[in-house]
Amino acid sequence: MHGHGLFESRTKAAAIRLVLIPAVLVSLLAGVAGGLVRAGVTLPAVSAEWFDHAVLGHAFLMICTFMGTVIGIERAVAVKEPLAFAAPLASGLAGLLYLAGALHAAAWLALAAAAAFVAVNVLVVARQRAAHTALLLMGALAWLAGNGLFVADTASSAVIPWWFSFLVLTIAAERLEMTRLMRRRQGASQALYGVLAMHLLACAVSSVSPRWGGLLYGASLVGLAVWLLRFDIARRTVSAHGLSRYMAVCLLLGYFWLAISGVAWCLTSQGAAAARDTALHALSLGFVFSMVLGHAPVILPAIARVKLLFGWAFYIPLAMLHGSLAVRLVSHWLNLDWLATGAAGNALAIALFAATVAASALAWRARYFTSARSHDDAATAP
Amino acid sequence: MTAAKTTPSYPYEGPQAMRRPVEEALQRVVDPEVAMTIVDVGLVYGVSVTDERLHVLLTMTSAACPVTDLIVEEVETELERIAPPAMRVDVELVWEPAWSSDRMSPRAKAFMGW
């Protein structure tokens, strides 16, 4: 039974590695390149048409076809239903279509991906009726709403809140699950539900009034950050060692940027254009990418069957990410020339992280094979 | 009170000689997200050992956890190290009864600030 299960999971991992991960990487690379150009970084002259689409579709590529595909794979691996892979397959393909210039087809395919992802989450809720699974489903529905508005070619001020909400609710759900290990104070759950209800209301209001919607949205992000800083297990696990502490550091830094983003979202909604980059990128890079950096060392082995040897080197890209983000965001108030430098640092942090993951995979192999060989030597020794 | 720390928090059936090695093997499986062993979190629901089979009932805190397979595999690997060659290791994932914080060990609760 187990041999069979293992074989199935290895075949699945091979399929993920060969088909889905290349699509994820294309979206990530194109999305990052598009982001760099937007921030004013001069890239080696690329005149290809796909590059224009990468600049235009930066948010779509980063949120829907990169993060959406990664989260879709993660959930499909968890539910163990082959059909659940339809969601990340569709969103991964949507990224390629978008870059190829089939913008409308890509938007429709992303909508289909979100619909499939909603179905997967309905299954998760059916298997485990709990607050955190309901929240995962709400995240999926937010993605569906955002993609629906994107298909209808609605203004980005209406689409972006829903897209971010997909990521924010998904992360909140996963953290809520972990807080079950802490003794919950009276009213803590109610406080969270209140904040999240405000968040969803803010998404809806943003479509009709960016001014009020943005204010509510920002307030809900600040509320969530305060809740997470107060109740998340990261406050406890940061006193552990190794990988556990690293993950907690990633989380706590993420909560700090979540609060900053919330404040910036409020300011932007009231007309402070200089705060817009902070609203978007303290959230996407400071909060979401910090979560990605923190969780990749445990998620990658689960979805791609690549074992990693954790080491202090993981702190280098983390420091680079948060340091360059600070440079990028203060540039709007101090010196706009720093914007491109900060953005280049953000991209470098992601590249450094990829290099660290690759090196730690090699380190694991080296250690594993060395110990296996010395074990064999010991076994054959006279 | 010290007994609470050394006595496993799950029902055990089988030879006493195997009890300690099994407990130690399970204690080696750590969930990095929570920085605690699966025994301390209370994910082990029961162990039964016969001459030919080492059967473990295991749960997870969430049905949406992508790391489930990895933890199950790690439990199998650790148990295969201590099981005699003729003994088959069988880790079974169960969802009933659902995990709750009541299952956490005193050490785990202290770590999480209960």
Q: How many CB pairs under 8 A join A and B?
A: 92
Q: Which helix (H) or strand (E) holds B13?
A: strand B12-13
Mutate to test the interface with A, among B54, B62, B77 (most CBs of A within 10 A): B62
Taking CB atoms and an 8 Å limit, are A6 and B73 in contact across chains? yes
Q: Do A74 and B66 touch (CB under 8 A)?
A: yes
The per-residue pLDDT for range A57-89, each reduced to its tens digit, is 999 999 999 999 999 999 998 998 999 999 999
Residue pair A325/A346 in contact by the 8 Å Cβ criterion: yes
Residue to test with chain A: of B31, B60, B67, B79, most A Cβ within 10 A? B67
Rounded average pLDDT over A340-358: 97
Percent above pLDDT 70 for chain A: 94
Q: Locate A224 and state its tokens.
A: 């969530």
Q: Is residue B3 part of a domain?
A: no
A105 exposure class (CB count in 10 Å sphere: 0-12, 13-18, 19+): middle
From A259, A258, A251, select the one nearest A232 (Cα to Cα).
A251
A325 Cα to chain B: minimum distance (Å): 25
Residue A304 has pLDDT above 90, yes or no: no
In a domain, B88, yes or no: yes
- How far apart are the two ends of chain B, measured CA to CA in Å? 17
The reply to whether B84 falls in a domain is yes
A148 burial type by CB count under 10 A (0-12 exposed, 13-18 middle, 19+ buried): middle
Mean of pLDDT values over B61-88: 91
In sequence order, which ranges of A232-309 are alpha helices (DSSP H)? 234-237, 242-269, 276-281, 290-304
Record: contact B34-A237, CB cut-off 8 A: yes
Task: Please tell me the distance from the alpha carbon of residue B90 to that of residue A229, in angstroms, as a whole number.
Answer: 40
The CATH number covering residue B77 comes to: 3.30.300.130
- The token pair that represents A262 in the structure block: 């919330």
Say if strands B88-93 and B36-37 run parallel, antiparallel, or are unpaired: unpaired
Q: How far apart are CA A7 and CA A15, in angstroms?
A: 12
Residue B108: count other Cβ atoms within 10 Å of its Cβ: 21
Which value does ipTM take for this structure? 0.86
What is the domain range of residue B94? 12-98
Q: How far apart are CA A368 and CA B77, in angstroms?
A: 14
Nearest-CA distance from B73 to chain A in Å? 9
pLDDT surpassing 90 at residue A33: yes
Please give the average per-residue pLDDT across A51-60, as a whole number: 95
* Distance of alpha carbon A55 from alpha carbon A99, whole angstroms: 10
- Closest to A74 (Cα-Cα) out of A13, A130, A134: A13
Q: A192-237, pLDDT tens digit by residue?
A: 999 999 999 999 999 999 999 999 999 999 999 999 999 999 999 9
* Chain B environment of A298 (Cβ under 8 Å): 32-33, 67, 70
B111–A contact, CB cutoff 8 A: yes
B76 domain residue, yes or no: yes
- Whether the Cβ atoms of residue A196 and residue A220 lie closer than 8 Å to each other: yes
Q: How far is CA A382 from CA A54, A372, A374, A377, in A?
A: 63, 18, 14, 10
**Segment B12-44, tens digit of pLDDT:** 999 999 999 999 999 999 998 899 999 999 999
In a domain, B54, yes or no: yes
Domain residues of chain A, as ranges?
1-127
- Domain tally, chain B: 1
B108 contacts in A (CB within 8 Å)? 181
Q: Is A123 on the interface with B (CB under 8 A)?
A: no
Confidence of residue A373 (pLDDT cuts 50, 70, 90): low
A135 alpha-carbon distance from chain centroid = 16
